[in-house]
C-alpha cells in the first residue's frame, strides 16, 4: 500500500513553494514524522515530515521545482527495506525526467517539467483575458504590471493597481559587462533564493509606492543603561530572561504611537486604516536573509513579556522555524542595525506599514550639558515614514516622544 506525501498548507496568501532539499532518496526507510524535505516559500522554510513509517518509493517533485499547495511530492510504501528494493529502480527511473540542470528554470506551479526540446525555456503564463483587454485599451506594457496570479499571471486587479500608481520613468538596467576569461574562472553564479527575491521585490516596491522620508534625532542612553544595570540581575532572577534594550525601545515606540496614531496606520486605496492596537515587528537578520517576526498586541505586554517574546522569536528565526503567522499583521517595525556596528542609516518601510524606527550603535561622544562638555553614550535614531499619510510634524513629534521616553524612562510609567 502506498501513501501520498503532498505539499502542506503554506500560510495565508502563499500558494506555492520551491523544493529546496530532499533529505531522503528513493529506497530509503523513513520513520513517522521524520523529515523528508524542505520547501522554501517567499518568507519561511517549511519542513515536510513523513506521515507514516515505511519506504520512500518515489520522489515526484525534484529539488528546484516549484510546487503548489497540495501538490504531490512523493510516495511512501508501507513496509521495510525489502519491499523498497524492488520499487527503488522504478522510482529512480520515474523520477529521472523530473531532474533538470541547475541553470534550467522551473516551469511554475504545476510541479512538473517537460523535457521536450521546445521546453528548454519556461513558457510565459497566459494572462487573464480581462487583464489583456484592459492593458490593450490603456496602452500599458505588461512589464509595468506586477503579476499576482498563479504562475505569474497578470490579473485585472493588477492592471488596475498599475493604473492607479503615479507614472514614473522606467529605470534602465545597465547590462552586465562580460567578464574576461581569467575573471570568469574566479566568479560564482548562485541563483537567488525565493526569500532573497521576495526581499528585493518588496523593498523596491516600497520605494516605488510610498512617499518615503526619514527624520533623525539622537538619544542619550545614560538613563536606560543605568536602569538596566541596576535591575538586570533581579530581572533575570524573577523572569528568567535578560533585560535588554529592545523592551525599552518597544515601550517607547508604543507610547509615541498612541500620541501619533497615523504612524501606526496604513493606506488602503483612498482610505486610511487606523490600528487601535500595536503589532510590533522586530527585524532580525538570519543566514538566509532579513525576516521580521511580529509581537502581536505588544501594547498589552509587560517588559518581561516583550523580552520573552523577542527571545522566543529570535530563536525561531535563527533555527528557520518561523511560520507565516509569526510574520504577518505587523503595524510598525523596529530595526536594530547597531548590533552590526551601524552608526547611521535610513531604514526602508515594511509595506503596508507607514513607519519604521532604525536603532544604531551606542557610542560615547562629547555633549554640551548645562554649559559643560561631558561624555555621554549616544545613539542616533532614524524614523522612515510614508509622507502620504504622516506629516513632518507628526514624524518629528513621534521621534521626540521616543527620545524623551528613553532619556527619562519614568515618563513611561506616568504616560507622559
- Residue 145, in any domain of the structure: no
Which residues lie closer than 8 Å to 158 by C-beta, 6 or more apart?
A: 131, 145, 146, 147, 148, 149
The H or E element containing residue 232 is helix 222-239
Q: pLDDT per residue over 395-406, tens digit each?
A: 999 999 999 999
- Residue 138, in any domain of the structure: no
User: 215 has which bridge partners?
Assistant: 383
Task: Give the separation between CA 171 and CA 212, rounded to whole angstroms.
Answer: 18
**Res 42: pLDDT:** 65
For residues 107 and 202, state if they share a domain: no
* Cell numbers that stand for 11 in this block: 500560510
For residues 220 and 79, state if they share a domain: no
Q: pLDDT per residue over 352-377, tens digit each?
A: 899 999 999 999 999 999 999 999 99
Looking at 111, 126, 146, which one is the last position of a domain?
111
- Residue 147, in any domain of the structure: no
For residues 77 and 213, state if they share a domain: no
Longest alpha-carbon distance in the chain: 87
- Residue 272, in any domain of the structure: yes
* Cell numbers that stand for 335 in this block: 530595526
Cα dihedral value 89, 90, 93, 96, nearest 10 = -100
CA-to-CA separations, 51 to 19, 29, 55, 75, 188, in angstroms, rounded: 18, 13, 11, 11, 38
pLDDT-based confidence at residue 123 (cuts at 50, 70, 90) = very low
**Res 105: pLDDT:** 37
- Residue 64, in any domain of the structure: yes
> DSSP code of 406?
H
Q: pLDDT per residue over 281-336, tens digit each?
A: 998 877 767 788 899 999 999 999 999 999 998 888 888 788 778 888 899 999 99
* Cell numbers that stand for 34 in this block: 521524520
Closest CA to 63 of 102, 117, 121: 102
**Res 389: pLDDT:** 93
For residues 334 and 233, state if they share a domain: yes
Looking at 60, 76, 111, which one is the last position of a domain?
111
Under DSSP, is residue 9 helix (H, G, I), strand (E, B) or coil?
coil
Closest CA to 400 of 223, 214, 253: 253
**Res 115: pLDDT:** 39
pTM of the model: 0.59
- Residue 380, in any domain of the structure: yes
What CATH code is carried by the domain that includes residue 100?
2.40.50.100
Closest CA to 97 of 124, 67, 65: 65
> DSSP code of 110?
B
**Res 68: pLDDT:** 84
**Res 45: pLDDT:** 72
Task: Give the separation between CA 399 and CA 403, rounded to whole angstroms.
Answer: 6
Strand pairing category for 280-282 and 363-369: unpaired
Residue 237: which domain range? 198-414
Looking at 68, 93, 111, which one is the last position of a domain?
111
For residues 107 and 203, state if they share a domain: no
Q: pLDDT per residue over 66-106, tens digit each?
A: 888 888 889 888 865 444 444 444 444 444 444 444 443 33
Give catalytic residues, as residue numbers: 387, 391
For residues 232 and 368, state if they share a domain: yes
- Residue 372, in any domain of the structure: yes
For residues 309 and 211, state if they share a domain: yes
CA-to-CA separations, 175 to 106, 172, 178, 208, in angstroms, rounded: 24, 9, 9, 22
pLDDT-based confidence at residue 109 (cuts at 50, 70, 90) = very low
**Res 121: pLDDT:** 40
Cα dihedral value 320, 325, 329, 334, nearest 10 = -20
For residues 258 and 366, state if they share a domain: yes
Strand pairing category for 280-282 and 332-336: parallel
- Residue 266, in any domain of the structure: yes
Total number of domains in the chain:
2
What CATH code is carried by the domain that includes residue 208?
3.30.559.10
**Res 327: pLDDT:** 83
Amino acid at each position: 500500500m502506498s501513501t501520498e506525501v503532498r505539499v502542506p498548507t503554506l500560510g495565508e496568501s502563499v500558494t506555492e513553494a520551491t523544493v529546496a532539499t530532499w533529505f531522503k532518496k528513493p529506497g530509503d526507510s523513513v520513520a513517522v514524522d521524520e523529515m523528508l524535505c524542505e520547501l522554501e516559500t517567499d518568507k519561511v522554510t517549511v519542513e515536510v515530515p513523513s506521515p507514516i513509517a515505511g519506504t520512500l518509493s518515489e520522489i515526484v517533485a525534484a529539488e528546484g521545482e516549484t510546487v503548489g499547495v497540495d501538490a504531490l511530492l512523493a510516495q511512501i510504501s508501507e513496509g521495510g527495506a525489502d519491499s523498497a528494493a524492488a520499487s527503488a529502480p522504478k522510482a529512480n527511473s520515474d523520477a529521472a525526467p523530473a531532474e533538470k540542470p541547475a541553470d534550467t528554470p522551473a516551469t511554475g506551479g504545476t510541479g512538473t517539467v517537460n523535457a521536450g526540446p521546445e521546453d528548454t525555456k519556461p513558457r510565459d503564463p497566459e494572462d487573464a483575458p480581462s487583464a489583456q483587454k484592459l492593458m490593450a485599451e490603456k496602452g500599458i506594457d505588461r512589464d509595468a504590471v506586477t503579476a499576482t496570479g498563479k504562475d505569474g499571471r497578470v490579473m485585472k486587479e493588477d492592471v488596475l493597481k498599475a493604473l492607479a500608481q503615479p507614472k514614473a520613468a522606467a529605470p534602465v538596467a545597465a547590462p552586465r559587462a562580460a567578464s574576461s576569461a581569467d575573471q570568469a574562472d574566479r566568479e560564482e553564479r548562485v541563483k537567488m533564493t525565493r526569500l532573497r527575491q521576495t526581499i528585493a521585490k518588496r523593498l523596491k516596491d516600497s520605494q516605488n509606492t510610498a512617499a518615503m522620508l526619514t527624520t533623525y534625532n539622537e538619544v542619550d542612553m545614560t538613563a536606560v543603561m543605568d536602569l538596566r544595570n541596576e535591575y538586570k540581575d533581579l530581572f533575570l532572577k524573577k523572569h528568567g530572561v535578560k533585560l535588554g534594550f529592545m523592551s525599552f525601545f518597544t515601550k517607547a515606540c508604543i507610547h509615541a504611537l498612541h500620541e501619533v496614531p497615523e504612524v501606526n496606520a496604513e493606506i488602503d486605496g483612498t482610505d486610511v486604516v487606523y490600528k487601535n492596537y500595536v503589532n510590533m515587528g522586530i527585524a532580525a537578520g538570519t543566514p538566509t536573509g532579513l525576516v521580521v517576526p511580529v509581537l502581536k498586541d505588544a501594547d498589552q505586554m509587560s517588559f518581561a513579556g516583550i523580552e520573552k517574546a523577542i527571545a522566543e522569536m529570535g530563536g525561531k528565526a535563527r533555527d528557520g522555524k518561523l511560520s507565516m503567522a509569526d510574520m504577518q499583521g505587523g503595524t510598525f517595525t523596529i530595526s536594530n542595525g547597531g548590533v552590526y556596528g551601524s552608526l547611521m542609516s535610513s531604514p526602508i518601510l515594511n509595506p503596508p506599514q507607514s513607519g519604521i524606527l532604525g536603532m544604531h550603535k551606542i557610542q560615547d561622544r562629547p555633549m554640551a550639558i548645562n554649559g559643560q562638555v561631558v561624555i555621554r553614550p549616544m545613539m542616533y535614531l532614524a524614523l522612515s515614514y510614508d509622507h502620504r499619510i504622516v506629516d513632518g510634524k507628526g514624524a518629528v513629534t513621534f521621534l521626540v516622544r521616543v527620545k524623551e521616553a528613553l532619556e527619562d524612562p519614568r515618563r513611561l510609567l506616568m504616560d507622559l
